[in-house]
Structure 1
Amino acid sequence: MSQDHQKCTASPTSDKHDVEKVVPSPSSDGTQERPYSIYTPAERWFIVVIASVAALFSPLAAMTYMPAIPVIAADFHKSVELINLTVTVYMVFQGISPVFWGTLADYVGRRPIFLSCMLVLAVACIGLASVPTSDYWLLLVLRCVQAAGSASTIALGAGVVGDIATRAERGGFFGLFFIGPLLGPTFGPVIGGALTPTLGWRWIFWIFVIASALCFIALSAFFPDTLRQLVGDGSVLPSRFYRPLVPLVGHGRRGMTTERPPRVPFVNPLRILTYPDVLALLLFNAVQYALFYAIIATISSIFQSTYSFLNETEIGLCFLASGFGTTIGGYVIGKILDRDCRLLKEKLALERMITTDTPGLREAVTHEENFPIEKARLKTIPIQLLICVTCCAGYGWCLHQKVNIAVPLVLQFVFCFSVTAILNTIQTLLVDLLPAHGSSVTACDNLVRCTFGAVCVSVIDLMLNDVGVGWTYTILALISLCTSPMIWLIVRLGPRSRAKRRARNS
C-alpha cells in the first residue's frame, strides 16, 4: 500500500464507526484484507429473506385489520369513529416504538430484539383474539402493544442489511428486504376481507398468533446475530444466546477470531434528526410515503363508490395492482442502485487515473469516506418523482371521470413502482450515511414518515369530500413535486455534513 494512500485512509477526519471496506484489496505484504462479511452471497440472501418475512408483520398487522372495522364496531357497540381510534393509536405506536427497539438493537444485538418483538406481537394478538366486547379500553391498549411488537421489525431488518452488505451491494439487498414490508398494504386488506365474513374478525388475530409463533421459531433456529460490534464481520463467535440453534450460515467460519470490534458510542436516536442531510432525506421520504398511503388507504372506498358493480372480494383484488408495482419496483431499483454505484466509482477512478500518476490518490477518490454516495444513489430520483406525480394526478382524474377500471389500475401499478423506487433509494442512502446506526436511523425514518402518513390519512377523506377526487390527488401531486429541490439540496449538503460528523467523531 502506498504511503499516500495510508495518509488518505488515516485522515483525521475519518469516522472509524461509519467507514466500511468495499472489497478485499491487497495489503502491503501481498495478503488479502478481510472481506466486509464472512457470509457467502447465498447466506446473506438467506439472512435478508428471514428479516424481510419478519418485517412483513408491521404493515400487515395494520392493513389486515381495516376490513373488519365495521364488524368490530357492531360487536363492541361502538361507533366506527371510536373503532377508527384503534387505527390511530396503532399508527402512533408504529412511529414511536421503533425509536426504542431500533436504538436498543444497535447496542444489544439484532437477534434478541427480533425475538422480543415476535414474542410481544404473539402475546398481544392472543389478547386481541380473546378481548371481551365489553372492554373497549382493552382493545385500545392491546392495539398499542401489537404495534409495539410488530412495527420495529422494519428498522431491525434495515440494520441487518447494513451489517452484512457494503454500499456497493446494499441496494440489491434492500430491494429484496423491502418486498416483505411493501406487500403488507397490498395483501393485508385481501386477507382481512376474506377472514372477517367467513371465520370472523377474531381469526385475524389468531392467524397472527400462529404466523408470529412460526416466525419466532424460524428466527430462533436459523437467524444469527449480525451486529458488527458483537460479531464483527461474522467471524467472532458470540455467546450462545446470540447464536442460532441450527447454524446453517457461516458454519465453520464463525469463531475464526476472538478479536471483537470496538464498541460504538451511544447516540441519542433523536439527535439524528439534527443532521441536516439526514433530516432533508427524512422529510423528502415522508412526503412521498404520505402520497403512497393517500392512494393505498382510499382504494376500497373510492373504488366502491366509483365502480358500484364491484363486490368486496373484487375490491380486494384491486389491491393486487399496487402490490405487484411495489414488489417489482423494489427488486428493480435494488439492481439499479448497485449498478449506479459501480458505474460512478469506475468513472471517478478513470478520471483520477487520467489526472494523476499516484496510485494512492487514484484509490482515494473511490474510498468510502470520499465517494459522493448521494450523487450515486439519487441519480434516478428526479425521473421517478416525475412519474409519481404524473400518475397520481392522472389517477385522480381517471376516477373522477369514471373511465374503464383498467386505466386507474395501470396507473396504480406504475405509481407504486416509482414510489417504491424512491422510498427504497432514500432508505438505502440513510443506512449508507450511518451504517453503524442502521436500525436507529431507520427508526427515525419510520417516526417521521408515519407522522406524515397519519396526518395524510386523517385529512384525505375531508379533501375528497370538499374538492373531489380529481383535485385531491392533483393537490397532493403538486405538494410532492414541490419537494424536488430537496434532491439538489441533499447532493450539496451531504458531503459537507458527512465531513463534519467524521471530524466530530474523530
Structure 2
Amino acid sequence: MEPTGVERDGRRPSTAIIPDMDSSTVGPDSEQDVETGLDNRDTNADEKDPNVVDWDGPNDQENPMNWTDKKKWLNICILSIMTIVTPLGSSMFAPGIPRILVEFHETSSTVATFLVSVYILGFAFGPLLIAPLSEVLGRRPLYVYGNILFVIFSVGAALANSIGMLFAFRLLMGLAGSVPITIGSGSIADLMPVEKRGRAMSAWALGPLLGPCVGPIAGGYLIEAVGWRWVYWLLCIMGGALIPVSFFFLRETFAPVLLEKKVRRLRKETNNPSLRSKLAGRLSPKDQFKLAIIRPMKLLVLTPIVTLMALYVAITYGILYLLITTFSFVYTEQYGFSEGNSGLTYLPAGLGMMFGVIVFGQLTDKMVSRNQAKGIKHRPEVRIAPVLTLPSGIVLPIGLFIYGWTANFGVHWIVPMIGVLIFSAGLMGVMFCVQNYLLDAYPRYAASVTAAMTVLRSLLGALLPLGGLEMYDALGLGWGNSLLAFVALALIPIPLVFYKFGERIRGKFNPKL
C-alpha cells in the first residue's frame, strides 16, 4: 500500500495548528471552529486516522504562523498599502465638492454630504459578503480581484457625466475597497502570535483612519490644479500599481485553505482519494457560506461585547466624519483658507492618529509580552486595560470641546486644529484597543468580528454627517461639538466594564455560530 501524505515522513499526524489556538485564547467559545466550519469532532480519532492530513509538525514552514518574519511583513506591508489606498477614495475629493455641485447643477447640502457618505455605505455593506467569502475561498483571491474591481469602478467615477452616475460608482468603489479593511485583521491573526499582533495591527489600522484625513490634503491641491476627476485617475494609478504587486507577492494566509491545497496535492501524489484536511468542516462550501454570511450580524446582535465595543468605535468614527463635514466651511469661510490650503486642515487629524498608532501599538504588545515573561496567562482584557482606554476615552471629549468653542469664537486657527489632533489621538487609542481586544477574545472569528465592527462603524460614519450640518446650524459649533463631547464622555465606562467582567460575559454569551 502506498503511504499517505501524513505517513510518508514516518511521523504521526500532529495536532492541528490553528492560528491563536493556544492555551491563552481557548475559552468557552472553543467548542466549534466557526471560522473554518470545523464541527465538534473526536480529535483523538482524527489523529489515529491515517487519511487525515495535518501540518508536518509544529514547525512546518507551510503553516503561516511559521513563516519567516520577512515573508510575514511583506504580506502585511502590501495589505497596509491597500488599506491606505481604498479609504482615500472616501474623502480625497471632498475639497472639490463645490465644483462638482456647480458642474452638475446641484444646490442641495444633503447631496453634497451624501457624495462623501455613499462611499462609506459601500464600506458598511461590503463586509457582509466579503467576510464569509474569505472563509470559503481564502483571503488572497479577494484582495486581488477586489483591487481590480476598485480600479475599474474608479475609472467609472472619473468618467461620470451625471451626479447619479457618480453616486453609483462611488458606492461600488466602497464595496470593492472594503476588502482589505474587512479581512486585513484576519490575515494578521493568521500570521502573527498574540504578543506581536499589536505592531502589525498598528501598520494595518492606519489606512481606515488616515485615509479620510490625509486624502483631502493631496486632494485639495490636485483639484485646484487639474480638477476633481483627477482624484479618481490618481486612485486608478495607485490601485493599478498594486495589481501586479498583489498578484505576484501576496500569499494566502488562511490555514484551512492552505491545508486543503496540501490535501489536493497529496491526493495526486499518493493516488489516495480518501485523504482529507484536519481543518476541513463537515459542511459543504455552500453550507459554510450560508452559515458564515449571517455570522457577523449574529455576533453584532447576540454578543454584548461585540455589540457595545463596535458601538463605541462606530460613534467615535461617526463623530470624526461629523468634524470633517465642518472643516470645509469653518476654515474657508471663517479663517479664509483657499481651496488648496483647505486640504491642510485635515493634517492635524492624521498626525493625531499616527501618534495614537505608535503609542498604543507598542504599549499593548509590551503589556502582553511582560505578562508572558512573568508566566501570567494571557487574557484578552489586557488590551483594554484602564491605563490604555481611560486616557483615550477622556481626551476624545477634551479635543471636541477645544475644537468646538475655539472655532465658535474665531480663536486663531491653530487652536481648533490642536483640538482635532487631541481628538484623533484618542480615537486611534480607542479603536486600536478595541480591535485588538476583539481579535484576542474571538480569534477564530477574526473576519466576522471585523465585518461586524466595520458594518456599524461605516453606517454611522455615512449617516451621522447627513444631519450634521443641520445640527451645527441649530446649535452652533460650540454647543454642537459639546453635545458630541458629552456623548463621548458617556461611552468611557464601556471598555472599563468589559475589562472587569469581560471574561465572565464571554462565557455567558456564547452564541452558536
**Category of TM-score, reference length = shorter chain:** 0.7 to 0.9
The equivalent residue for 2:279 is 262
Shift of 1:285: 1.4
The equivalent residue for 2:216 is 189
1:92 and 2:121 correspond: yes
Matches within 5 A, 1:122-137: 122-131=151-160, 133=161, 135-137=162-164
Where does the alignment leave 5 or more consecutive residues of structure 1 unmatched?
Answer: 1-5, 20-31, 241-257, 350-365
Instruction: Determine helix, strand or coil for the equivalent of 1:318.
Output: helix
Checking the alignment, whether the CA contact within 8 Å between 2:64 and 2:253 is kept in structure 1 is no
Matches within 5 A, 1:60-459: 60-81=88-109, 82-131=111-160, 133=161, 135-231=162-258, 260-263=277-280, 266-267=291-292, 268=294, 269-273=296-300, 274-308=302-336, 310-346=337-373, 349=376, 366=377, 371-379=378-386, 380-459=388-467
Provide the C-alpha distance between the structure 1 equivalents of 2:191 and 2:105, rounded to a whole number of angstroms: 50
The equivalent residue for 2:33 is 17
C-alpha deviations, 1:385-407, integer Å up to 9, x for none?
Answer: 11221121122112122222222
Q: Which amino acid aligns with 1:496?
A: R
Shift in CA distance, 306/348, structure 1 to aligned 2, threshold 3 Å: farther
Deviates more, 1:433-442 or 1:281-290: 433-442
Shift of 1:337: 0.8
C-alpha deviations, 1:420-442, integer Å up to 9, x for none?
Answer: 11111111112222222322211
Question: Which of the numbers 486, 489, 501 marks the counterpart of 1:478?
Answer: 486
Shift in CA distance, 285/181, structure 1 to aligned 2, threshold 3 Å: closer
Checking the alignment, whether the CA contact within 8 Å between 2:209 and 2:353 is kept in structure 1 is yes
* Percentage of pairs with the same residue: 24
Shift in CA distance, 435/13, structure 1 to aligned 2, threshold 3 Å: closer
Q: Which amino acid aligns with 1:100?
A: L
Shift of 1:100: 0.9
Q: Which amino acid aligns with 1:378?
A: A
Provide the C-alpha distance between the structure 1 equivalents of 2:28 and 2:312, rounded to a whole number of angstroms: 32
C-alpha deviations, 1:436-481, integer Å up to 9, x for none?
Answer: 2322211111111122223321222122211211111111111111
Shift in CA distance, 11/209, structure 1 to aligned 2, threshold 3 Å: closer
Shift of 1:341: 1.9
Checking the alignment, whether the CA contact within 8 Å between 1:175 and 1:330 is kept in structure 2 is yes
Instruction: Determine helix, strand or coil for the equivalent of 1:152.
Output: helix
C-alpha deviations, 1:164-221, integer Å up to 9, x for none?
Answer: 1122221111111112332211221122222223222222211111211111111001
TM-score, with normalisation over the residues of structure 2? 0.79
Checking the alignment, whether the CA contact within 8 Å between 1:106 and 1:159 is kept in structure 2 is no
Deviates more, 1:97-106 or 1:83-92: 83-92
Checking the alignment, whether the CA contact within 8 Å between 1:126 and 1:209 is kept in structure 2 is yes
Q: Which amino acid aligns with 2:280?
A: R
Shift in CA distance, 77/294, structure 1 to aligned 2, threshold 3 Å: closer
Shift of 1:10: 9.4
Checking the alignment, whether the CA contact within 8 Å between 2:64 and 2:255 is kept in structure 1 is no
Checking the alignment, whether the CA contact within 8 Å between 2:402 and 2:415 is kept in structure 1 is no
Checking the alignment, whether the CA contact within 8 Å between 1:179 and 1:331 is kept in structure 2 is no
1:467 and 2:475 correspond: yes
Shift in CA distance, 199/104, structure 1 to aligned 2, threshold 3 Å: same
Checking the alignment, whether the CA contact within 8 Å between 1:15 and 1:501 is kept in structure 2 is no
C-alpha deviations, 1:252-274, integer Å up to 9, x for none?
Answer: xxxxxx98441366432211111
C-alpha deviations, 1:150-172, integer Å up to 9, x for none?
Answer: 12321121111111112222111
Provide the C-alpha distance between the structure 1 equivalents of 2:221 and 2:72, rounded to a whole number of angstroms: 35
Shift in CA distance, 348/62, structure 1 to aligned 2, threshold 3 Å: same
Shift in CA distance, 462/326, structure 1 to aligned 2, threshold 3 Å: same
Shift of 1:126: 1.5
Shift in CA distance, 372/99, structure 1 to aligned 2, threshold 3 Å: same
Question: Which of the numbers 494, 498, 506 marks the counterpart of 2:506?
Answer: 498
Deviates more, 1:292-301 or 1:94-103: 292-301
Checking the alignment, whether the CA contact within 8 Å between 1:286 and 1:452 is kept in structure 2 is yes
Shift in CA distance, 392/14, structure 1 to aligned 2, threshold 3 Å: same
The equivalent residue for 2:44 is none
Checking the alignment, whether the CA contact within 8 Å between 1:231 and 1:261 is kept in structure 2 is no
Shift in CA distance, 436/10, structure 1 to aligned 2, threshold 3 Å: closer
Provide the C-alpha distance between the structure 2 equivalents of 1:104 and 1:333, rounded to a whole number of angstroms: 31
Shift in CA distance, 460/84, structure 1 to aligned 2, threshold 3 Å: closer
Checking the alignment, whether the CA contact within 8 Å between 1:18 and 1:433 is kept in structure 2 is no
Provide the C-alpha distance between the structure 2 equivalents of 1:79 and 1:228, rounded to a whole number of angstroms: 52
Shift of 1:114: 0.8
Shift in CA distance, 482/501, structure 1 to aligned 2, threshold 3 Å: closer
Shift of 1:58: 3.1
Shift of 1:98: 1.5
Q: Which amino acid aligns with 2:463?
A: V
Provide the C-alpha distance between the structure 1 equivalents of 2:391 and 2:24, rounded to a whole number of angstroms: 36
Instruction: Determine helix, strand or coil for the equivalent of 1:139.
Output: helix
Checking the alignment, whether the CA contact within 8 Å between 1:106 and 1:436 is kept in structure 2 is no
Shift in CA distance, 76/423, structure 1 to aligned 2, threshold 3 Å: same
Root mean square deviation of aligned Cα: 3.0
The equivalent residue for 2:71 is 43
Aligned residues: 447
TM-score, with normalisation over the residues of structure 1? 0.80
Q: Which amino acid aligns with 1:218?
A: V
Checking the alignment, whether the CA contact within 8 Å between 1:14 and 1:502 is kept in structure 2 is no
Shift in CA distance, 263/275, structure 1 to aligned 2, threshold 3 Å: farther
Q: Which amino acid aligns with 1:410?
A: I
Q: Which amino acid aligns with 2:460?
A: F
